[in-house]
Structure 1
């Protein structure tokens, strides 16, 4: 059972910033002067506490893994997934505002991120340098699983993958199955990097 003062800090932290993940709520709570630094705060316990008080949204309180595909790879490099997350708007050199996009890859078996980078565009030209850096760091994957977005539906990408010997797999339209793993990583990025930019 958690001490009453700790429960109060946990609830207040989540109420002050509802978008914080459970892990970030714990991290912020442990910074509070009334909470011992070494106090065990199991994420499952904190999640139940927040849920009981109605502080967990539907997307937070449910497993967001929509990966119901019949294949599940066991070895690194057998399958990479790639997706794009819409990032913050930034000012560039001429002081104009531009939308950013986070292009990322994840290894299906290990959950390792071979590489990820922000870009000012969401297209094949922006995608390929990120793909190259992922390969430089982790080697060639056997398969690349992507959705049907414009970044991935290009003859150029198909040709590149064919030359590299990488099987390019497109998700079926309107059924982005298998994206749960990388979507969870994007959620972590939003929760830890974009919500608290000063930390």
Structure 2
């Protein structure tokens, strides 16, 4: 298709060329009629003589040769420095004695001009994926948050006040650690997130054992089924709970295919890792909680907000529930 400022469309070029070739018009007369230069009229007429109507189509404006193009060996050196050492255009240009603008152009052409697009471990461009429909793959994992002493912890209080609260809590509960230090404990949040819709489910427990993880999976699958989502696969890391025979048998009983990430590759499970960060910022450390119980009671409300109201950047600014097109309320 012709560009917006083209004087002639392919149809008009054909008419112009036919006037010259088939009817014997002069280049000047045909050019005047179509308000172009005689040189242009001659160009299209020559193409019509040699190729017929097919010659009226647009051609690439790319030159046949590019003498000033960066040679392949220089491109390889630029890419190698970017991948292996995470250097910027100016640093690479200084090492290779070439303009920084040339280096930046090469990095942009190779789609590695932003370090956020490069895997930190391998240096390879990130390969993002998304499964085609809800339930095709769910991610499971466990994240840990320290329990909160009575009155609040160090996230919002100064160290002296938080230590005083910890001692008071330990005196009440009787839990002590090494050297008689207060043992506040840890909250293990078992999380499940659907790969396609980003719909999230979470439960708080006191451990991350296989029996606990299996119970969370069973309840999460049932919860997703209530939302019209049939779970097909589950992706986990290589934690002991997910490598157990009990987990394998539970997945078989549920009719779910279990997949594990490659060791030392948390990026494969990146969607749920990012969800953990969102959970920490939006729920766990969002405000001052005066006890662990107070924080725990707010989790269901926050999950509802995340699933039904929070704009998700990966979903075009829409909440996860909008991707569940099979919900009955969507057809009322």
Paired residues for 1:121-136 under 5 Å: 121-136=207-222
Matches of 2:185 and 2:119, distance apart in 1: 31
Matched, 1:157 2:157: no
Using CA pairs below 8 Å that are at least 6 residues apart, which structure has the higher relative contact order?
1
Q: From 270, 282, 291, give the equivalent of 1:192.
A: 282
> Does the residue aligned with 1:186 lie in a helix, a strand or coil?
helix
Identify the residue that residue 264 of structure 2 maps to in structure 1. Answer: 174
Q: From 177, 180, 203, give the equivalent of 1:117.
A: 203
Matches of 1:107 and 1:98, distance apart in 2: 29
Structure 1 unaligned residues grouped into runs of 5+:
1-60
Identify the residue that residue 101 of structure 1 maps to in structure 2. Answer: 188
Matches of 1:64 and 1:134, distance apart in 2: 33
- Kindly indicate whether the alpha-carbon contact (under 8 Å) linking 2:141 and 2:236 is maintained by their aligned counterparts in 1: yes
Larger Rg: 2
- Kindly indicate whether the alpha-carbon contact (under 8 Å) linking 1:82 and 1:105 is maintained by their aligned counterparts in 2: yes
Matches of 1:197 and 1:86, distance apart in 2: 18
Moved more, 93-102 or 183-192: 93-102
Moved more, 176-185 or 144-153: 176-185
Count of aligned positions:
138
Aligned-residue RMSD, C-alpha: 2.9
- Kindly indicate whether the alpha-carbon contact (under 8 Å) linking 1:76 and 1:109 is maintained by their aligned counterparts in 2: yes
Structure 2 unaligned residues grouped into runs of 5+:
1-114, 150-168, 176-183, 290-332
What TM-score do the two structures reach when normalised by structure 1?
0.60
> Does the residue aligned with 1:190 lie in a helix, a strand or coil?
helix
Query: Which structure shows the bigger proportion of residues in strand conformation?
Result: 1
The Cα shift of 1:74 comes to: 1.2
> Does the residue aligned with 2:139 lie in a helix, a strand or coil?
strand
Identify the residue that residue 51 of structure 1 maps to in structure 2. Answer: none
Identify the residue that residue 83 of structure 1 maps to in structure 2. Answer: 141
> Does the residue aligned with 2:242 lie in a helix, a strand or coil?
coil
Matches of 2:174 and 2:217, distance apart in 1: 29
Q: From 144, 147, 162, give the equivalent of 2:234.
A: 144
- Kindly indicate whether the alpha-carbon contact (under 8 Å) linking 1:65 and 1:184 is maintained by their aligned counterparts in 2: no
Query: Which structure shows the bigger proportion of residues in helix conformation?
Result: 2
Go from structure 1 to structure 2 and tell me whether the alpha carbon gap of 1:176 and 1:75 turns closer, same or farther (over 3 Å shift).
same
Identify the residue that residue 45 of structure 1 maps to in structure 2. Answer: none
Deviations 1:111-164 (A, max 9, x none): 111x21111101111112211221121124100000001121100010111122
> Does the residue aligned with 1:157 lie in a helix, a strand or coil?
helix
